[in-house]
């Protein structure tokens, strides 16, 4: 009712463009306040409050039984001498570059191939997209079977005369990390493809036509028309990739648990085993803070973009 008594003074005059006009100003009814507060409280209880605790715990030593003991920067100093941490950090960077980079490039390539509206293209798109709906655990098990010593991969290698390359892919320290990235890629590429397909669809065909008339080759059109037009999607894909890379846990946990000898350890798996298997909760929290710091830039830029969009 409050809304009724406070007529929207601005809106009727300059209707179409501004986003503000969609809101009805005036006193906010209590029900509407409750609409915001209930979800906010749920998130505060399960996210904001735990997050604050998580940051605090990073500066403590805690076994989960006796009360946490404040140790300042002790955990972070310990990291400097922790070889497993350094390995995990390096693998996380590798993971970002390989998993992230390849899924972006291959996802874009798949989108370019499958953007043409031809008969049957929907089927091809669905095939590439199907793995996205699998859990990473199921994905991991599928690929574990492929990697087995008597599995399909080794059989295929033998069949094409590359039997010398046969391998215990997941048990070898030199190949474990890469063997884990492949299933993750298999699942991620379809996701990135969908994002790029939408982006490509949004490009005005007239731009391509104009470039064609001016005699631009297909490659030139890609470089000077398609890529610049995709800048918005690229930013989205970048955020998705960085956030997903740093969160990657399930696939590694199901395939190798970070082994053998930490050769496929990521910060996320190291954090989990430190916290819940070694029960070093303070050090585990400090590792989580490192992950947060790595993700912070992307989270912040995502929020800035969201902020601009929100009004």
Give the binding range for other proteins (CB under 8 A) out of 26-34, 84-92, 93-101, 173-181: 26-34
Give the binding range for other proteins (CB under 8 A) out of 75-83, 97-105, 211-219, 238-246: 238-246
214 scored as a contact of other proteins (CB under 8 A): no
Q: What is the DSSP string of 85-98?
A: HHHHHHHHHHHIII
Cα separations (Å) of 111 from 45, 89, 108, 194? 41, 32, 5, 7
Write down the least CB distance from residue 257 to other proteins, Å: 10
| 304 burial level (CB within 10 Å; 0-12, 13-18, 19+) | exposed
Please work out, in degrees rounded to the nearest 5, the angle formed at the alpha carbon of residue 123 by the alpha carbons of 121 and 126: 110
Give the binding range for other proteins (CB under 8 A) out of 69-77, 168-176, 203-211, 287-295: 287-295
Site size with other proteins, rule: CB under 8 A: 113
What are the two backbone dihedrals, phi and then psi, of residue 223, each rounded to the nearest 5 degrees? -70, -40
CA distance 206 to 187: 34
- Helix H or strand E encompassing 60: strand 60-61
Q: Which of 240, 258, 262, 265 binds other proteins (CB under 8 A)?
A: 240
111 scored as a contact of other proteins (CB under 8 A): no
Give the binding range for other proteins (CB under 8 A) out of 77-85, 95-103, 171-179, 281-289: 281-289
Q: Which of 102, 104, 108, 110 binds other proteins (CB under 8 A)?
A: 110
Q: Which of 163, 232, 277, 297 binds other proteins (CB under 8 A)?
A: 232
Cα separations (Å) of 215 from 203, 204, 224? 19, 18, 13
287 scored as a contact of other proteins (CB under 8 A): yes
Q: Which residues pair with 125 in a beta bridge?
A: none
Residue whose tokens read 């191939």: 113
User: Smaller CB distance to other proteins: residue 50 or 101?
Assistant: 50
53 scored as a contact of other proteins (CB under 8 A): yes
54 scored as a contact of other proteins (CB under 8 A): yes
What are the two backbone dihedrals, phi and then psi, of residue 7, each rounded to the nearest 5 degrees? -65, 150
104 scored as a contact of other proteins (CB under 8 A): no
User: Which residues between 130 and 159 bind other proteins (CB under 8 A)?
Assistant: 130-131, 133-138, 141-146, 148, 150-156
97 neighbors 111 (Cβ within 8 angstroms): no
Cα separations (Å) of 70 from 55, 62, 89, 213? 12, 9, 25, 69
Q: Which of 14, 46, 172, 297 binds other proteins (CB under 8 A)?
A: 46
186 scored as a contact of other proteins (CB under 8 A): yes
CA torsion, points 185, 188, 190, 193, in degrees to nearest 10? -110
Write down the least CB distance from residue 220 to other proteins, Å: 20
Q: Which of 170, 180, 185, 195 binds other proteins (CB under 8 A)?
A: 195
38 scored as a contact of other proteins (CB under 8 A): yes
Write down the least CB distance from residue 121 to other proteins, Å: 7
| 233 burial level (CB within 10 Å; 0-12, 13-18, 19+) | buried
252 scored as a contact of other proteins (CB under 8 A): no
65 scored as a contact of other proteins (CB under 8 A): no
Give the binding range for other proteins (CB under 8 A) out of 69-77, 169-177, 206-214, 264-272: 264-272
70 scored as a contact of other proteins (CB under 8 A): no
């Amino acid at each position: 009712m409050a809304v009724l008594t406070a007529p929207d003074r601005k809106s009727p005059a300059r209707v179409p463009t501004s986003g503000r006009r969609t809101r009805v100003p005036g006193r906010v009814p209590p029900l509407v306040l409750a609409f915001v507060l209930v979800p906010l409280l749920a998130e505060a209880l399960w996210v904001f409050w735990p997050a604050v605790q998580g940051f605090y715990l990073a500066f403590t030593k805690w076994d989960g039984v006796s009360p946490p003991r404040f140790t300042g920067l002790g955990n972070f100093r310990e990291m400097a001498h922790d070889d497993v941490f350094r390995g995990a950090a390096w693998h996380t960077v590798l993971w970002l570059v390989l998993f992230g980079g390849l899924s972006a490039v291959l996802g874009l390539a798949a989108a370019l191939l499958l953007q043409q509206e031809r008969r049957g293209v929907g089927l091809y798109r669905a095939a590439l997209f199907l793995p996205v709906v699998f859990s990473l655990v199921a994905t991991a098990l599928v690929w574990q079977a492929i990697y087995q010593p008597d599995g399909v991969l080794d059989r295929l290698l033998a069949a094409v005369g590359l039997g010398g390359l046969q391998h215990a892919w997941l048990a070898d320290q030199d190949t474990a990390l890469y063997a884990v990235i492949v299933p993750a890629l298999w699942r991620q590429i379809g996701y990135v493809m969908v994002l790029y397909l939408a982006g490509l669809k949004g490009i005005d065909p007239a731009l391509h036509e104009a470039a064609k008339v001016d005699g631009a080759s297909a490659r030139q059109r890609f470089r000077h028309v398609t890529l610049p037009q995709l800048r918005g999607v690229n930013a989205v894909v970048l955020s998705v990739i960085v956030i997903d890379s740093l969160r990657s846990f399930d696939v590694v946990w199901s395939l190798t648990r970070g082994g053998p000898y930490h050769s496929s350890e990521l910060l996320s798996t190291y954090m989990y085993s430190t916290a819940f298997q070694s029960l070093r909760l303070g050090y585990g929290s400090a590792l989580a803070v490192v992950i947060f710091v790595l993700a912070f830039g992307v989270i912040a830029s995502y929020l800035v973009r969201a902020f601009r969009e929100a009004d």
